[in-house]
Chains A and B, each alone.
Chain A
């Protein structure tokens, strides 16, 4: 009964016009199965702390390195990550995913802490390495009955937002105290990476 009323109240005829204030719930209702796909795609990258920390560290490092890394990164990372997801989806196995992700959190954190400035290509390869594993681990876990397209949209968007968070935090690099805080954050991520690595190996 409840759902009947809700269906009346949220009939799609309004959706396109009232986008500003009603669209989201209405749309979510109409496309329930699909919206669920979007939400689980959105949640997945956020479900593991190791992933979250490593992705924020990528953003921190990009901000620390400055242009062109700061904008090259958010443009290329999703694509490389999707390559990892693609490999996972077509059935190419990737060994030691958990270990690699923990190791990348450790490495990326260490880079930020040490304020290392490797050549751009080296930094790109290091980040790409992590991106492939990240995509492989998380891009493929679609709950049944949900839309793969919307899951992918949510997954990519959540990842991008984590980068943006990292970059935004990394902007404190402009100030001398901020630089120290940034290095401390890098050290914290590296320490967490060691803990994750311990867990993955044990």
Chain B
């Protein structure tokens, strides 16, 4: 029993230490753009926050959805190229858990958020995760063009998901979105626990 608190403290320290970006970089043989597209769909740690962001933006109406739709891939691309040039994942490993937790709770709460704030959240998410992607691509010695594929796929996913949410009219459908948000937040909280316990 004595060892667990110690492990927790070590884990807490770990959360703040830059992690090795373990991205799923694979070779599809179809060129870097397709590699990037497949990367997004195979990396739950990127896909899930993107989906959460799109749900949140969609719940806040077409204006928020529209702005987030452009802010998210643009920031992802900017963060990605910055991360690619620096080639160091200086961000803590807990980033994914925190993104999921924050976006999930906001979605589950379904309180009206101003479009400017939604846009800022999208930009922050894009910059952070894009940076991790870019650094991982650079570390693996791969082409920066993959970022174009990733950002393009994000644009498509975000557009489809947030448009779907905007078009929901039935009250139970909105609740289903909130439930999805709650699941995402719960996943984030558990992931935070895993990160803190250092058992990932």
Q: What residues make up the interface of B, taking CB atoms closer than 8 Å to A?
A: 1, 4-5, 7-8, 11, 24, 26, 28-30, 34, 37-38, 41-42, 44-45, 48, 96, 105, 108, 153, 172, 175, 178-179, 181-183, 185-197, 199-200
Contact = CB atoms under 8 A, between A and B. Distances in A.
B193 A85 contact: yes
B182 A78 contact: yes
A119 interface: no
Interface residues of A, number: 42
A153 B187 CA distance: 6
B38 A156 contact: no
Contact of B175 (A71, A77, A90, A160): A71
Contacts of B181: 75
Interface in A139-160: 139-140, 142, 147-150, 152-153, 155-157, 160
A169 interface: no
Interface of A: 11-13, 15-16, 19, 27, 30-31, 34, 71, 74-79, 81-83, 85-91, 93, 135, 139-140, 142, 147-150, 152-153, 155-157, 160
Contacts of B41: 15-16, 19, 27
Contacts of B194: 89, 142, 148-149, 152
B11 A82 contact: no
Nearest to A87: B193
